[in-house]
Amino acid sequence: MNPLEQNEGTTRKPTPRSPALVVVILFACGIALDRFFSSQFDFWRWELLVLLELLLLIGWLILQRFQSQLALILLCGVISICGSIWHHWFWELIPANHIRNFAGEEATPVRMEAIVLSEPIWKENQLPEFASAWPGSDRTIFQIQSEQLHLHDRTIPVSGRIRLTVSGPLNGVQTGDRILVIGKMRNLQPNRNPGTYDFAEALRRDSVLTTLFCEHAEGVQVLKKADIHIVSWFHRGLDTVRIRIREVFQQTLPSESAAMANALILGDRTQLDDEVNTAFRRSGLMHLLSISGLHVALIGALAGWLACLLGGTSRTFNQFTLAGMTLAWMLAEFRPPVFRAWLLGLMLFWSWTSFRKIRTVQALGLAGWICLIVNPSWLFDVGTQLSFLAIVAILGCWKWMPSLFRNQIETQLLASESTSDSPSSIQRGFRHAIHFLKQTAIISLAITLFLLPILTAHFHLVSLAGIPATVLALPLLAMALPGLILTATIGFFSPAIASLIATPTHYILMLMSELAELFSRGPLQWLPAGMNFWIVTCFCLLAGLLVFLPKQTGIPLKAGISTSWCLLLVVGLSPVPSSFIPQSLECRVLSVGHGNACLMRCPNGRTILFDAGSMENGRFASSAITASLSDLGCNRIDAIVISHTDTDHLNAIPFLMDEIPIHTIFLNPVGLNPRHPGLSVIVEKAAEHQIDLRYLQQDDKISLDLNVRILTRQCGSSPLSESASDNEHSIVMEVEYADCHLLFPADVSGDGQERLFEETSPGYDFLVAPHHGSIKDNTLDFSKWAGAENIVFSTGDENDRDYLTELYSPQQVLWTTAGAVRCRIDAQGHYTVEQWHRNQYWGIPLEN
């Protein structure tokens, strides 16, 4: 052989490159950089970013001919700063006429003209009776584009999106209509507790900064129906299809199945029962119920399968698949995971039709970059993060594992065909089913392990039950989707015929629901004790190495990385608390509206909760407690003290009992009324979850930590009549650690306070004010007796703040309406008091 030919034959192919992946990573880094610096530093402004971009661009143009490596570094900076500029323009820059500038933190009456942007969605009130002191109501929710604000003496043109909530049903309003709205407007408030779902940020990602509430449908009047043009016709057509699909599901399916059908086809989970939502979340099956890229891919595959049944060519198959994915995307509205799946499908379709091969990693990078161009804040959306990381996990899984299974099956088939006993069609089907289940199990395991840090951070739950549950539920989903699509399609013309298809689909959906309920309970779910930042960082680096290492990497190195990866998971997500060494005592007074929730972690890691309730919504208070518990590095509550049986002191406890382990609940004998709605639910759930119920007496001590004294300073002794108020007999708890004293007097009042005055006060370093801050129970006598250095009010009338501040002056006075408050005491008796800031960090107390 010619040496030249031999060299040509042995020349290696160039390594394929993925510039789109590098660009999207740099662009995302720039977005994250802007989000951080904008919230921390005032100098980080639009003008500085533009100047920095120009300097980097000029430097790159000059150096690219002389110093290519340095020019490459500058080019990376150019791309990153582009991301910062784009995000800053989208997130921070607000025009002068934006409606946010005319609203405040408190709700104010307004009269406004606006354009309807989205289909009005009916949301049924699902809070149990005990969960709120005020009767709930059903609501209609949609978005509007503000146009004009009518003041007393003039009309001001305004701009900006608003989330409009109307109490009760609202009929006759469609997308594109011009409406007049009379209601109460306020700006969205930032998260006031660490770790809870940030509703304000989620709406801001959709460019909504303000909310408007109408107490009745008469507050919304249609001034003009939408103009007929191609855009309005398209939007109205989509709304009509969605409404008709909901009607078909309502007519052909029972209510629970209809709600699941709306979630699977339309991405609308507003009608889902809270218990169903909880079961799917705890079982790790929420990704099947929340419409995502998986649903888009399945619907596209069903459309392609239909093309094959019709005898179409491969080109027809591709066209039908893309059409099915496009239909799923439009019906589910503009959701990031669905949009990402559609973009990937579009790129693959282009690759097939143009006969040009595109690498999956390159396509994923392009899809990610387009998503960030459309909305840079999607980088911080948990759905977007999970969607892209799931694809990365699948790529890594298929890189190392599926080829082995595929070879095994091919070997088995060839071995069978080489003998006289060739496999029958049933045997082939059985082998392929086993192969599919193996692949599903491995992919589910890879996705679950890969996404655990994000799932833990956002949902405060580790659920390994999702692995076996997904293996069993995925075939059910593959059968349910075509049934629902056929039901919706045929139901447009004949609901009676559609009912014939809906009946078996209903049983499939109920089987999925039963699976979720089955896997939602057991040892495979636990509340994580929080993950250290460095553990998360190392985990991400090792996960990236696992996915992007070349195939030629040696087995020992891959095994070492995989072992380290699993060890980090075990350490970071273990059901055992992550803190084994003694630490400071920390008490948090959470912001739960008119209510009380004081969570304390002892130095040895054990926890106690003084009251847990909110006048408005006990479920919200429960989520705030769970998030703070995980943030503290704990995963259970050792004791709960219910000071008395007012709704705003106990209605979060039934929700907590379903979510996290609780050892003991201490009751006040004064409030032992079996007909109290909240207390009766607590007793029932305590029996269900085998939680100890005990009552306290005066001078009882709760032993959690040898160095912490938790004393019952005052408590009633016997039940009162139903009509009597038990505020006077509220349990008063005192905590002493390292010569520091904390007092939790609940709603103690009247003679109850007089009994306290008969005893000597040690002088309290931290006091949660009695009865949330009412003037009646915060008297000069109580202020002198307590001698507190730091006083926290869980709520209070704005008109009373001056009085309360003067009453406790010169001590520090804090209100949880501005954010949660925490007190930390070390073993030497040094303590600090901090407050949760609107920029989502603990810092010096805010000016109230």
647-681 pLDDT, tens per residue? 899 999 999 998 889 999 999 988 777 777 888 89
pLDDT, position 395: 76
CA angle 788/789/790 to nearest 5° reads 95
Query: In whole angstroms, what is the distance from residue 667 CA to residue 611 CA?
Result: 10
How much of the chain, in percent, has pLDDT values that exceed 70? 87
pLDDT, position 531: 62
What are the C-alpha distances in Å from 530 to residues 156, 527, 578, 605?
Answer: 49, 9, 7, 13
Cβ contact 696:642 at 8 Å: no
Cβ contact 823:842 at 8 Å: no
pLDDT, position 220: 94
pLDDT, position 418: 47
pLDDT, position 11: 47
pLDDT, position 76: 93
Query: In whole angstroms, what is the distance from residue 690 CA to residue 704 CA?
Result: 20
Q: Identify the DSSP state of 134.
A: S
Query: In whole angstroms, what is the distance from residue 621 CA to residue 596 CA?
Result: 9
Give the three-state DSSP class for 318: helix
Highest mean pLDDT among 326-335, 606-615, 771-780: 606-615
- Report which of 197, 203, 199, 204 is spatially closest to residue 91, judged by C-alpha positions: 204
> For 143-157, what is the mean pLDDT?
92
> For 369-382, what is the mean pLDDT?
92
140-144, 301-305, 424-428, 701-705: which has the minimum mean pLDDT?
424-428
Cβ contact 571:535 at 8 Å: yes
Pick 5 or 723 by higher pLDDT: 723
pLDDT, position 788: 93
Cis bond leading into 577, ω under 30°?
no
As a whole number of angstroms, the longest Cα–Cα distance in the chain is 108
**For residue 440, is pLDDT > 90?**
no
Question: Cβ atoms within 10 A of the Cβ of 755, count?
Answer: 16
Assign 3-state DSSP to the chain and report helix, strand, coil percentages, each to 5: 50, 15, 30
pLDDT, position 15: 52
Query: In whole angstroms, what is the distance from residue 343 CA to residue 237 CA?
Result: 23
Q: How far is CA 420 from the centre of its chain?
A: 58
Query: In whole angstroms, what is the distance from residue 530 CA to residue 737 CA?
Result: 25
- Report which of 607, 587, 583, 584 is spatially closest to residue 833, judged by C-alpha positions: 587
- Dihedral class, residue 176 (left if φ above 0, else alpha if ψ from -120 to 50, else beta): left
- Could you tell me which residues come within 8 angstroms of residue 284 by beta carbon, excluding any fewer than 6 positions away? 448, 463, 464, 465, 466, 467, 469, 470, 519
pLDDT, position 511: 94
Query: In whole angstroms, what is the distance from residue 654 CA to residue 820 CA?
Result: 22
pLDDT, position 505: 94
**For residue 134, is pLDDT > 50?**
yes
* pLDDT tens digit sequence for 442-490: 777 777 777 777 777 777 777 778 778 888 888 888 889 889 988 998 9
- Name residue 182's amino acid: I
**For residue 805, is pLDDT > 80?**
yes
**For residue 613, is pLDDT > 70?**
yes
- Could you tell me which residues come within 8 angstroms of residue 131 by beta carbon, excluding any fewer than 6 positions away? 617, 618, 619, 651, 654, 655
Residue 244, CB half-sphere, CA atoms under 13 Å: how many? 17
pLDDT, position 328: 85
Pick 572 or 505 by higher pLDDT: 505
Q: Which two tokens stand for residue 75?
A: 């080019």
Residue 261, CB half-sphere, CA atoms under 13 Å: how many? 30
Alpha helices (H) in 310-359, listed in sequence order: 314-331, 336-354
Query: In whole angstroms, what is the distance from residue 152 CA to residue 471 CA?
Result: 62
pLDDT, position 561: 74
> For 108-114, what is the mean pLDDT?
94
Cβ contact 438:446 at 8 Å: no
Question: Exposure of 540 by Cβ count < 10 A (0-12 exposed, 13-18 middle, 19+ buried)?
Answer: middle
Cβ contact 631:836 at 8 Å: no
Q: Compute the Cα dihedral for 85, 90, 92, 94 and give only its sign.
A: positive
> For 173-201, what is the mean pLDDT?
91
What predicted TM-score, i.e. pTM, was given to this entire model? 0.86
**For residue 751, is pLDDT > 80?**
yes
- Report which of 590, 591, 594 is spatially closest to residue 134, judged by C-alpha positions: 594
pLDDT, position 360: 77
**For residue 194, is pLDDT > 70?**
yes
Pick 131 or 549 by higher pLDDT: 131
Q: Which two tokens stand for residue 561?
A: 């990385």
pLDDT bucket at 133, cuts 50 / 70 / 90: confident
- Dihedral class, residue 750 (left if φ above 0, else alpha if ψ from -120 to 50, else beta): left
Query: In whole angstroms, what is the distance from residue 665 CA to residue 624 CA?
Result: 19
Give the three-state DSSP class for 311: coil
Cβ contact 606:702 at 8 Å: no
What single string gives the DSSP state of each residue in 16-75?
Answer: P--HHHHHHHHHHHHHHHHHHHHHH-TT--HHHHHHHHHHHHHHHHHHTTT-HHHHHHHH
* pLDDT tens digit sequence for 506-535: 999 999 999 998 888 777 776 665 666 666
- Report which of 483, 119, 116, 482 is spatially closest to residue 268, judged by C-alpha positions: 119
pLDDT bucket at 546, cuts 50 / 70 / 90: low
* pLDDT tens digit sequence for 564-594: 777 777 766 665 544 455 579 999 999 998 8
- Report which of 88, 85, 113 is spatially closest to residue 99, judged by C-alpha positions: 113
- Report which of 739, 735, 662, 664 is spatially closest to residue 701, judged by C-alpha positions: 735
> For 698-723, what is the mean pLDDT?
86
Alpha helices (H) in 216-292, listed in sequence order: 230-252, 255-266, 274-282, 286-289
Pick 274 or 420 by higher pLDDT: 274
**For residue 407, is pLDDT > 70?**
no
> For 283-299, what is the mean pLDDT?
80
> For 45-60, what is the mean pLDDT?
92
Residues β-bridged to residue 110: 183
Measured torsion, CA atoms of residues 451, 457, 461, 464, in degrees rounded to the nearest 10: 20
pLDDT bucket at 2, cuts 50 / 70 / 90: very low
Intra-chain end-to-end CA distance of the chain, in Å = 87
Average pLDDT over the chain, rounded to an integer:
84
pLDDT bucket at 351, cuts 50 / 70 / 90: confident
pLDDT bucket at 9, cuts 50 / 70 / 90: very low
How much of the chain, in percent, has pLDDT values that exceed 90? 39
Angle between helices 230-252 and 255-266 (to 10 degrees): 150
Pick 568 or 770 by higher pLDDT: 770
